[in-house]
Homo-oligomer: A and B are copies of this chain.
Amino acid sequence: MTTIVRPYGDTLDDGAVQLSFTLPVPFGPRGREAARLFVEKLGFRHAEVVHAAPLSGDFSFYVAYGRTEVAVDVDTIHVEEATGEKLYSMNEACAAIREKLGRKVVVVGACTGFDAHTVGIDAIMNMKGYNHHYGLERYSEVEAFNLGAQVPNEKLIDYAVKVNADAILVSQIVTQKDVHIRNLTELIELLEARGLRERFVVCAGGTRISNKLAVELGYDGGFGQGTYAEHVATFLIDRLVDKVAPGGA
């Protein structure tokens, strides 16, 4: 089946989209026309520049609305989130660990590289958690080590080995110039170089991280905005159980 969809303004398939952008062109009729042409070139018919303003001698700003025939087929879209709809609550997770693994799960987390945005990893790991969802430290069956900010990948791996961790959690918030991609890739390469990749379940998280991206980069799972400890716990339990009894349990 195919379900072709287009943007919707006020009539099905009108293809209405709002855009704004800056052009390195002085403000004036020429700039305005350049902006219109640019929007047309993106595949919009009926490109309308509804606002133009000078930003400086050489730059000008535009707001435009356009209508396009470009469409996507939503039936071909398959998005795998790290977890399904069904999540363990904290108590369920602990029960599942006791029952299915029979030992505590050890988790090491950090905000790596030069990234110092700890609020995200803290939200997942710290006692008090986030938005009334407790963090992993509060899980009786989880031993959680949060190494904090700006931890080099090397050091994180060393620590994980030291405490014999089941899982490594990495947070990356700064994404400018794709620094997060570089940093996340480096961790996987280091693990592989040291023959440790299979030893841990490795997860990445952050505002701009998706499961898709993380998996592409060689992680077991990825977690973006709106993640709570429950998501991570659910994912880890499933993976760890799978490691013990592949495919089954």
A92 within 8 A of B: no
Contact A30-B68, Cβ < 8 Å, known A7-B21, A16-B21:
no
Find chain B residues with CB under 8 A from A32 CB: 79
Q: Could you say which of B8, B29, B42, B68 contacts A68, with CB atoms under 8 Å apart?
A: B42
Contact A77 B30 (CB under 8 A): yes
Copies in the complex: 2
**Residues of chain B contacted by A22 (CB below 8 angstroms):** 7-9, 16
The bracket for how many chain A residues form the interface is: 35 or more
Once A17-B20, A19-B17, A42-B42 are accepted as A-B contacts, the answer to whether A74 and B7 lie under 8 Å apart by CB is: no
Q: In the complex the two chains form, is B208's CB within 8 Å of A29's CB?
A: no
Bound-state Cα–Cα, A36 to B210, Å: 12
Which chain B residues border A21 with CB–CB below 8 Å?
A: 7-8, 16-18
> Using Cβ atoms and an 8 Å threshold, which residues of chain B touch A43?
41-43
* In the complex, per-residue mask of A10-29: 1 if CB is within 8 Å of any chain B CB, else 0: 00100011111111110001
Q: Is A238 an interface residue (CB 8 A)?
A: no
Q: Of A19, A30, A59, which is in contact with the most chain B CB atoms at under 10 Å from its CB?
A: A19
Q: Please report the C-alpha to C-alpha distance between residue A194 and residue B199 in the assembled complex, in whole angstroms.
A: 88
Q: B23 touching A5 by the CB < 8 A rule?
A: yes
On chain B, the residues within 8 Å of A154 by CB distance are: none
Does A48 count as interface, using CB distance less than 8 angstroms?
Answer: yes
Chain B residues near A242: list those with CB within 8 A.
Answer: none
Which 5 A-B pairs rank lowest in CB-CB distance, beginning with the nearest? Answer: A7-B21, A29-B79, A17-B21, A18-B20, A8-B22
